[in-house]
Amino acid sequence: MSVAAPRHLLIEACEPLLQPARSRCDLFRQGCRTAGLRDYPDKAMMPGFLAADARFGGLPRPLPTRDDEIGFWTGYYGEVLATMGQTIAPDGLRKLVLGLLSHQSVVIAPVLPPRIDAVRRAGGRVILVADWYASFRQTLINSGLLGLFPEIFLAGQQGVYLEDQNGVMVMLRTLGLRPETSVFLGAPRAAMAEVGLVCYTSEQLDDLPMAV
């Protein structure tokens, strides 16, 4: 099915479109130094990450407030440290989490800027969509990307899931967009197809129509 060139482009903040600039082991190691903890080699950290992943099930959604976000990561990294046999006072753990959130950064896939420029030259909007939370804006600042993405939709702050139809409709309504004039680039969801929002995966980027 041919699709008209999009007027507005929604880009999901996910790999490989945006990738962490550093491994989580490197980031955690820096956080440990900031909190006055010892350095750990990667092989010592991985059991902790696996245990925390199993217990917390990855990123929860939604986490609408900064305190919610900090609370989740405090539990997560507390589990990582406990698995490694490291105990830390609550204030120290909070300091560790705040340091980790403030030092995150990402890199953008080099194929994206030309697409973004084309949409904007045609008068369209480009919105970065994320399930991330309050720290995501700081991540973009750290990465030098906030100027490229002045419009951001954070699903967690709206208290919705992009996996369900209500979440997709809240996103479109909040942004003042219609599905027929927009294209989503990222991990496709059935809910998006249900409301008529056309989705492209990163592997289909070459097929994404350029704006006219």
pLDDT for residue 212 is more than 50: no
Per cent of the chain over pLDDT 90 is 27
What CA–CA distance (Å, rounded) separates 140 from 150?
A: 10
Q: How confident is the model at residue 58 (pLDDT cuts 50, 70, 90)?
A: low
What CA–CA distance (Å, rounded) separates 108 from 148?
A: 10
- pTM for the full predicted model: 0.80
Contact 68, 158 (CB under 8 A): no
> What pLDDT sits at residue 173?
95
Q: Which of 60-69, 132-141, 144-153 has the highest mean pLDDT?
A: 144-153
Q: Which residues fall within 8 angstroms of residue 166, CB to CB, at 6 or more apart? A: 160
Give the tens place of pLDDT for each residue, 122-141. 889 999 998 766 678 888 89
Say which residue the tokens 């507390």 belong to: 78
> What pLDDT sits at residue 139?
87
Q: How confident is the model at residue 211 (pLDDT cuts 50, 70, 90)?
A: low
pLDDT for residue 91 is more than 60: yes
In sequence order, what E strands does 13-112 have? Answer: 18-20, 106-108
